[in-house]
């Protein structure tokens, strides 16, 4: 059992704190730039306290997880005062481990490769954790902590993690945005977007089984340029989407040629 403090109250902090408690760890304090947000998270925890300043020298926690927007991590690490021998780790996909240097000699990265939302529970045992630390001892501690949540643990340096995070943006955030655009296109015509669900499910299942290269279908990959042109014309009132349609189709054709 670890005693842990959480810095941050966003989607990752929200999910991680509750999952850690469920596995028997003790969340000591929650700090957030906005104390009301820390309060809201603490309300979902057993015995955690809201902490309003960054001096944790009296904390009983031995692990401090910084789970805030990337731009804020460096400043927090500089202002953070930790108990002796405490480990500090961030949960960012993109930031190097080194930004935590000013906070403690024992620092690391604790990056869960998943999309989190408040009000939606994620099965953590399936979530890949990418871990990194300044020393084997610190790594072992973070590994032990991650192992209590998930069976998929990876040692990964900051450069590789950054690439993984970039790939995750395409396969998660941008994939979701494609679904958003298609929903909005249908909304305008009063067509229920749920009609697409069997197509979306089959698309993803096929893509994961056969690989996206073999799974591709549609007008671009079969070079049905009349359909491509007709669709772009249909999007005349949404120039951003017409441009995306054109560029993604070009890219599908380009990769297919290289095949």
Q: Are 12 and 91 in contact (CB under 8 A)?
A: yes
Question: For a copy of itself, which is the closer residue by CB, 98 or 224?
Answer: 224
Residue 248 touching a copy of itself (CB under 8 A):
yes
Q: Are 5 and 53 in contact (CB under 8 A)?
A: no
CA gap 64, 208 in Å, rounded: 36
Exposed / middle / buried, residue 182 (Cβ in 10 Å: 0-12, 13-18, 19+) = middle
* Single residue of 114, 134, 148, 153 touching a copy of itself by CB under 8 A: 114
Q: Are 111 and 91 in contact (CB under 8 A)?
A: yes
CA angle (164, 170, 173) in 5-degree steps: 110
Question: For a copy of itself, which is the closer residue by CB, 148 or 207?
Answer: 207
Q: Which residues within the stretch 176-235 sit at the binding site for a copy of itself (CB under 8 A)?
A: 176-186, 188-189, 191, 193, 195-204, 206-208, 210-222, 224, 226-227, 230-231, 234-235
* Single residue of 162, 236, 237, 257 touching a copy of itself by CB under 8 A: 162
Residue 3 touching a copy of itself (CB under 8 A):
no
What is each CA distance from 62 to 3, 41, 56, 163, in whole angstroms? 6, 20, 10, 30
Q: Which stretch binds a copy of itself (CB under 8 A): 29-37, 39-47, 57-65, 154-162?
A: 154-162
Residue 31 touching a copy of itself (CB under 8 A):
no
Least distance in Å: CB of 193 to a copy of itself? Answer: 8
* Single residue of 128, 147, 148, 153 touching a copy of itself by CB under 8 A: 128
Q: Which stretch binds a copy of itself (CB under 8 A): 1-9, 37-45, 58-66, 163-171?
A: 163-171
How many residues form the binding site for a copy of itself (CB under 8 A)? Answer: 93
* C-alpha closest to that of 150 among 123, 117, 176: 123
CA gap 238, 257 in Å, rounded: 29
* Single residue of 49, 134, 148, 175 touching a copy of itself by CB under 8 A: 175
Residue 241 touching a copy of itself (CB under 8 A):
yes
For residue 164, the Cα-to-chain-centroid distance in whole angstroms is 11
Residue where the block lists tokens 């902090």 = 13
Residue 151 touching a copy of itself (CB under 8 A):
no
Question: For a copy of itself, which is the closer residue by CB, 53 or 188?
Answer: 188
């Amino acid at each position: 059992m670890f005693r842990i403090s959480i810095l941050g109250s966003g989607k990752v902090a929200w999910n991680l704190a509750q999952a850690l408690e469920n596995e028997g760890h003790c969340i000591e304090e929650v700090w957030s730039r906005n104390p009301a947000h820390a309060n809201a998270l603490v309300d979902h925890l057993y015995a955690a306290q809201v902490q309003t300043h960054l001096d944790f020298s009296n904390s009983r926690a031995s692990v401090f997880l910084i789970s805030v927007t990337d731009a804020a991590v460096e400043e927090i690490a500089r202002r953070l005062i930790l108990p002796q021998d405490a480990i500090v780790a961030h949960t960012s996909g993109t930031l190097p481990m080194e930004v935590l240097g000013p906070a403690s000699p024992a620092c690391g990265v604790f990056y869960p490769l998943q999309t989190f939302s408040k009000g939606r529970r994620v099965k953590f045992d399936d979530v890949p954790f990418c871990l990194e630390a300044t020393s084997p001892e610190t790594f072992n501690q973070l590994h032990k902590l991650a192992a209590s949540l998930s069976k998929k643990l990876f040692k990964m340096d900051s450069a590789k993690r950054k690439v993984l995070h970039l790939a995750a943006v395409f396969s998660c955030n941008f994939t979701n945005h494609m679904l958003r655009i298609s929903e909005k296109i249908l909304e305008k015509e009063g067509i229920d977007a749920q009609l697409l669900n069997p197509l979306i499910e089959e698309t993803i299942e096929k893509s994961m089984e056969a690989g996206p290269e073999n799974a591709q279908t549609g007008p671009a990959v079969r070079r049905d340029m009349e359909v491509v042109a007709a669709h772009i014309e249909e999007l005349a009132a949404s120039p951003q989407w017409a441009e995306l349609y054109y560029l993604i189709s070009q890219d599908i054709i380009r990769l297919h040629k290289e095949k």
